[in-house]
Amino acid sequence: MVLQKRSIFSVIISIVLFIILALATSPCILAASHLLPHVSPKMEKPEFWIKKIKNPSRLLLTPEEIQGINEASLKNQDLYLWSVKDLKEEWTREEILSFLREDREGFGRIDEGRYDKYRNPLKESFWTELKKNLNEESLKETNQLFFGLIVKRTDIRFFPTHEISMGSPTNSKFDQIQHSTVPPGSLIGVYHFSKDKLWAYVQTRFVRGWVQAKDLAIAQEKKEAVGYDEVKKRLVITRDFINVYCDLSHKQIAFTAQMGISFPLLDLPEQTKETKKDYIIKIPFREIDGQLTFHEGYIPMGKDVHSGFLPYAQENLAQQAFKMLHQPYGWGEMFGARDCSRLIMDLFSTFGILMPRNSKFQARMGIDLGQTESKAVKEKEKMLDQAIPLATILRLPGHIMLYLGEDRGRYYAIHNIWGIQKAGESGPVLEKIGRVVVSDLSLGSSGPNGSLLDRVTDIRVIGPKLKP
């Protein structure tokens, strides 16, 4: 039995509380300028960093090596990745109750103080009603796991509710019940349904939680959903976000797909035929009764997609990462945006590399360049000199970045960051950034927590160990 340990909840809670504390204790919040210190306009172009690399088109990992990494990752329970197709098809009442108990104990603690969207404290009655909607009494001694597919990008929540739970009355940007989003076409296992039948308790490849029932379709047979997920010939979304259409006239949107998502490819566009100007993909569809069927989806020719996963090379990593530059920050993908770890996850997905959802677990991927946490900045810079730009991730508590390289003695990263503390006239000031940026790693050096590089605890290469 694969269990989600309580540590994942404590990690996420600590990150949220850290951000909230920064917001609450700062005397004021400043908006960052478009370009951060020591960043020039040319640095916001992928070509700037590509030109610094010898042989940037060199393949860092072959498709076979990536497949091997994925298989090993799925077997490593410390990464919190799941092979959904291999989940057992029957679960006991106690097993599912233990999952629900972990969620409740990790995120439903009233004594911490939570607030609703109107900035009022969440009362005990809220949690009581929420517990009723978990529908625990309907669980049988043995419960069948249903297999299905997500039919549109949907939130995955720790509880079956749209209500938000804030750690402070002024902090609506960080909902502690929101965990992530699940993209269309994702294979899921369905454990259970809420009392109001509006929510399904599911297992995805990277998280367990509640999604809206209307956003999934259940297969009559497991092989329908699993077979869709295992199709080898796939079209990969390589743009930040694109629309997939239900019709060739592009008037009806089936859903929006984000970078790294792939779909079974049925046909390629032919420029010589007026009637074939689209990529045709197979998309999941929810019938009125909730059952899974399949339709054709259409993506106009010229959109940013790729037949198969991209070759894992530094120039491709650069091009993909900078497509997300200046996109807004969204905790757990709130407001349709991304946070720091989802940027990393989506980026590496375009190469077929499975990444965990949480930054702590992402920093267990790849090759460790050595003990980092206790080292001085100069020692960390020497380690970065041995890293592979654009194939190295840098983690500090609550945050993760993609290493870009060095320029004139400064070290740079691209990352999605909410804000950074800096020195102010009357004490620390939180400078709100709230988007994907290029910054040098001295950012925050005047603040009480030190620079980004001061706080880096993990340097991990996703690929060969030594810089080519």
Residue ranges of the domains in the chain?
14-66+311-461, 79-211, 230-307
Model confidence pLDDT, tens digit, residues 42-97: 999 999 999 999 999 999 999 999 999 999 999 999 999 999 999 999 999 999 99
Residue pair 154/212 in contact (Cβ under 8 Å)? The answer is yes
Query: Strands 29-31 and 427-440: what pairing?
Result: parallel
Question: Is the CB of residue 324 less than 8 Å from the CB of residue 333?
Answer: no
* pLDDT (mean) for 230-253: 96
DSSP three-state, residue 187: strand
The model's pLDDT over 403-424, given as tens digits with 9 standing for 90+, comes to 999 999 999 999 999 999 888 7
Q: What residues contact 196, with CB distance under 8 A and at least 6 apart?
A: 133, 160
Q: Are 238 and 308 in contact (CB under 8 A)?
A: no
d(CA 37, CA 443): 8
Q: What is the CATH number that goes with domain 230-307?
A: 2.30.30
What is d(CA 132, CA 110) in angstroms, rounded to the nearest whole number?
A: 16
Burial string for 407-443 (b: 16+ CB within 10 Å, else e) reads beebbbbbbbbbbbbbebeeebbbbbbbbbbbbbbbb
Measured distance CA(421)–CA(396) in Å, rounded: 14
Measured CA to CA in angstroms, residue 291 lies from 103, 222, 300 at distances of 28, 12, 28
DSSP states of 345-401 as a string?
Answer: HHHHHTTT----SSHHHHTTSSEE-S--TTS-HHHHHHHHHTS-TTSEEEEETTEEE
Please give the model's pTM, rounded to 2 decimal places: 0.90
**β-strand 292-300 against 216-218: which pairing, if any?**
unpaired
Fold for 14-66+311-461, please state it: endopeptidase fold (from Nostoc punctiforme) (3.90.1720)
Give the residue-averaged pLDDT of 149-160.
96
CB 237 within 8 A of CB 167: no
b/e 263-277 (16+ beta carbons within 10 angstroms → b): bbbeeebeeeeeeee
pLDDT at site 457: 96
Residue 466's pLDDT band, with cuts at 50, 70 and 90, is: low
Backbone φ, ψ for residue 210 (5° rounding):
-105, 130
pLDDT of residue 25: 37
Q: Using 50, 70 and 90 to split pLDDT, how confident is the model at 33?
A: low
